[in-house]
Amino acid sequence: METRRIDPVNCSVARALSVVGERWSLLIVREALDGARRFGEFHSRLGIARNLLATRLETLVTAGVMRRVPYQEPGDRQRFAYELTEQGRALRPTLVALLEWGDTYLADPQGPSVIVRHRPVDDASSCDEPVKVVLECAAGHSHLAPEDVCRTPGPGARFMESS
């Protein structure tokens, strides 16, 4: 009997990981979400090797995750900083999901070291409650368990034959 399976290589997870799946990439994005902007900030916060940091930043910039922007401090020459694009900020849910998973299964005995809170940039309506990531379907069913969902072929699916 022949079954048809979605080709696992033609998949957005694989494509996403080809951009942010390299060692350090997601940690660089995390630090950027937390306010890091300059080469030296990333370097000293993460302890990553300087040449790797340079190539990672370049990769993230060409992938459209970050942007290289000139800045100049008074009485200093022009330098470059790195900031997230909208595409880069859109990785927040991924990082929150990883954080939550790490907190649940690999926790520090003291408890989580970081709590993500609902605190908008314009602090006006500061709610400050902890934030979680939840799965929700288009019909409005929310808080779906991992078992309640499955993968189905989409319009761009390629298939593999298997016996």
Binding mask 70-109 toward DNA (x if CB under 7 A, else -) reads -----xxx-xxx----------------------------
Nearer to a second copy by Cβ, of 70 and 105: the residue is: 105
Instruction: State yes or no: residue 2 binds DNA (CB under 7 A).
Output: no
Token pair listed for 53:
């940091």
Given a second copy, DNA, none, residue 51, with its beta carbon under 5 to 8 Å by kind, binds DNA
The HSE-up count of residue 163 (CA atoms within 13 Å, CB side) is 0
Instruction: State yes or no: residue 63 binds DNA (CB under 7 A).
Output: no
Give the residues across from 161 on adjacent strands.
4
Residues 12-51 that bind DNA (CB under 7 A): 22-24, 38-41, 47-51
Given DNA, a second copy, none, residue 77, with its beta carbon under 5 to 8 Å by kind, binds DNA
Nearer to a second copy by Cβ, of 57 and 95: the residue is: 95
Q: Are the CB atoms for 74 and 118 separated by under 8 Å?
A: no
Q: Helix/strand/coil (H, E, C) string of 42-96?
A: HHHHHCCCHHHHHHHHHHHHHHCCEEEEEEECCCCCEEEEEEECHHHHCCHHHHH
Instruction: Return phi, psi of residue 92, to 5°.
Output: -50, -50
What's the min distance (Å) between Cβ of 88 and DNA? Answer: 16
